[in-house]
Amino acid sequence: MLTEFLTFGLIMLLGAMLPGADFAIVTKNSLLHSRKAGLYSAIGIVAAMGIHMTYCVLGFAVIIRQSPWLFHGIQYAGAAYLCYMGINLLKQHDRNTLNIKGEVQRKDISPEKAFRQGFICNLLNPKATLFFLTIFSAISTSHSDISLNILYAIEMLCIALFWFCTLAYGISHPIVSGWLNRLQKRLNGYSL
């Protein structure tokens, strides 16, 4: 059981680390707004993961997996939200202003908005839905004890919270953000 626990934990960590919509929203909010906005986005992501885990632990994953119209509906809603998020990101890029040094000025957003962005991003992310359906399908075939499924869910939520908070903290660190600002200036210089 310990081996299985560590294996699923490693799979969760690698899944969380993969670049995707969750990674992008935490990075964007940490860089463009503040570390606090990135942390609230991370908490929102983990709260949405809690919903994914809840329906998986309660067995609704089987219903979703066996109902093509429901599964495709979730995928289409997620794809529509990702498109919406991408369009807003492109629009927001035009609204950012540069200070005298050529750095992007940060505009703070409310913790509620940052949380909501992270929550909706993960909840409607088709990759997250598929990931948790796959993980919990593998877990449920190895045993049927609901208390173990809850333990796996808690483990995965803790790992995700650790990863995304670490990402928000690291990406907003002055050394990292300074390096990214210099890189952005170089890239902007080449695009002229």
Whether residue 86 lies inside any domain: the answer is: yes
pLDDT, averaged across the chain: 81
Whether residue 176 lies inside any domain: the answer is: yes
**pLDDT for 40:** 97
Residue 98 three-state SS:
strand
Whether residue 16 lies inside any domain: the answer is: no
Whether residue 61 lies inside any domain: the answer is: yes
**pLDDT for 98:** 46
The residue segments making up the domain with residue 161 are 2-11+24-186
**pLDDT for 100:** 44
pLDDT at 190 over 70: no
Whether residue 19 lies inside any domain: the answer is: no
Whether residue 107 lies inside any domain: the answer is: yes
**Residue 61 pLDDT grade (very low, low, confident, very high; cuts 50, 70, 90):** low
**Tally of structural domains, the chain:** 1
pTM of the model: 0.76
Whether residue 192 lies inside any domain: the answer is: no
Whether residue 34 lies inside any domain: the answer is: yes
Of 31 and 90, the one with more pLDDT: 31
In the 8-state DSSP scheme, what is residue 121? H
Q: Round to whole Å and give the CA distance between 155 and 167.
A: 18
Instruction: Count Cα neighbours of 144 within 13 Å in the Cβ-side half-sphere.
Output: 1
